[in-house]
Amino acid sequence: MRKILLLSALLFLFALPAWANVPQLVQSCEAARPNAWSSDLECWLAATTSGNWIIVKYSNWAATATWTSTETLTFTAGAQSSWTFSGFPRTAGIGYVQTTSNHSGGFQVKYHDSAANVNTLIVEEWAGLGSVDSGSATQATSTLSRTVTTAATNEIVFIECSDSSADLYAGSGLTQNNSIAITAPNASNANFRGVSGSAIVAAATTTTFTCSTATSNSAQQISALAFTQSSPPATPSINILQGCGWNFNNGGTSSGGCTLPNVTAGNTILAAYTAYGTSATLGLTGTETFTCVSGTQIHHVYSADDSQIICFVRLTSSHATFTSDASLGVGPLPAELAMVEIPGSALASTADSGSATGYAAQTGSYTTANNNEPTFMLSSDNNGIATVPTTMAPGNSFLPIVGIIVYNSSVDAQQMLLSAKVTATASTSTASWTFTTSHAPLTSVLAFGPAPISFVGYPVIY
């Protein structure tokens, strides 16, 4: 790990407790596939760092799966669940590998199974993990609650939950790192969902963790696996608290969305939203009213009309759940939505409207009004080939936060990536990214006023 630096710029990191140095989520990718679309599902992370850990959380309808990855994954038996639900095999669990090399071209995780039903896949890169606590491995079916026994102090417990339900999110005591689903949180259109959670347990003890569900069809599974810490990066003053995602408006619905649990008044929720095959003006509603910044909206006709936009809301109240609804006007269509919660101390309450821009290319420019403005870039593309996603990587010092892949056997594999940086000077700057065999590039950029405080943080990961 590199030395801790005092930075005058904002560093973006996922949710961290207030004590000491702790493991950090570097980046993540999420994917889900609807029924009968493909027997494959995969994720790509942008450039990964040797010694970091890749954590995989999955659920599927197949009895067996064949895994392909840049480095070989291990699936501890105790953290994998398998059962028969409504006459169909159902499996879920957690896998991992500590990388032995840098992978500048990206890290791939893919599975192939005998079915082509609803599956979910979440892949994360973590820094600061030590070793697997194999005795902590546990799983259960027909429930979303499980007791985990940790062998050492300050272990980090990873949780995977899945269900067929109207909604699914992390319960009390868990940080929701990510979630993925193919339908909006909607009681009339329950479908399979996956949630990735984590928590640091201060003592060697037994702890019960739970995910929350709504209008469940009782296809519930939960897995847990703990790791010790090793040279965790410095705890920053600013971090991304939690995230959720959605990647297809399945079942003929005309909207999608996702849920963040236990959001806090004064924090900012940022949403990145892209759709393939619609000329409709994209809109986003939520538990509180979003501002969708018109300057970030871009429509462009490639093989179809592609659109995207960045929205945000500064929360006026705390909420047990914050749910978004991304209106497409038509459906079903491939689309992606990523939503993150950011502490109120990190961003100005309003965006720098002059920075807002959108362009139908991988490279363009944006202009900031102040020094040290936190800046977000949404990129999306497809390579014109069905079921063949590839690495999408940010440039110009932007750091990846989350990527989402729509995996489809009938249309081009659509991908999006949300990235962030601090733009150091008030100037016109370049925002760019790369994607193999680019076919339909779109870019949106939005900055906020200068961060109101200085930060101590880890200089590599957001």
Q: What is the mean pLDDT of residues 318-344?
A: 84
φ and ψ at 107, to 5 degrees?
Answer: -120, 125
What letters, b where the CB count within 10 A reaches 16 and e where it falls short, cover 240-263?
bbbbbbbbbbbbebbbbbbbbbbb
d(CA 295, CA 351) in angstroms, rounded, equals 11
Q: What is the pTM of this model?
A: 0.92
pLDDT at 261: 97
Non-local CB neighbours of 306 within 8 Å, separated by 6+ positions: 274, 275, 276, 277, 299, 300, 380, 440, 442
Helix intervals (H) in 389-449: none
d(CA 124, CA 402) in angstroms, rounded, equals 9
pLDDT at 439: 86
pLDDT at 101: 98
DSSP strand pairing (334-342 vs 291-292): unpaired
Joined together, the tokens standing for residue 237 give 């003053």
Furthest C-alpha separation in the chain: 61
Q: How far is CA 430 from CA 79, 365, 423, 445, in A?
A: 44, 4, 10, 10
Residue 36 above 60 pLDDT? no
pLDDT at 12: 45
| Beta strands across the sheet bearing 53-60 | 80-85, 88-98, 53-60, 119-127, 24-33, 399-406, 412-423, 373-386, 442-448, 351-359
pLDDT at 223: 98
Residue 62 above 80 pLDDT? no
d(CA 78, CA 156) in angstroms, rounded, equals 17
Q: What is the mean pLDDT of residues 421-446?
A: 93
Which of 90, 25, 98 is CA-nearest to residue 58?
90
pLDDT in tens, 220-237: 999 999 999 999 987 554
E strand or H helix that includes residue 286: strand 283-286
Percent of the chain scoring above 70 in pLDDT: 84
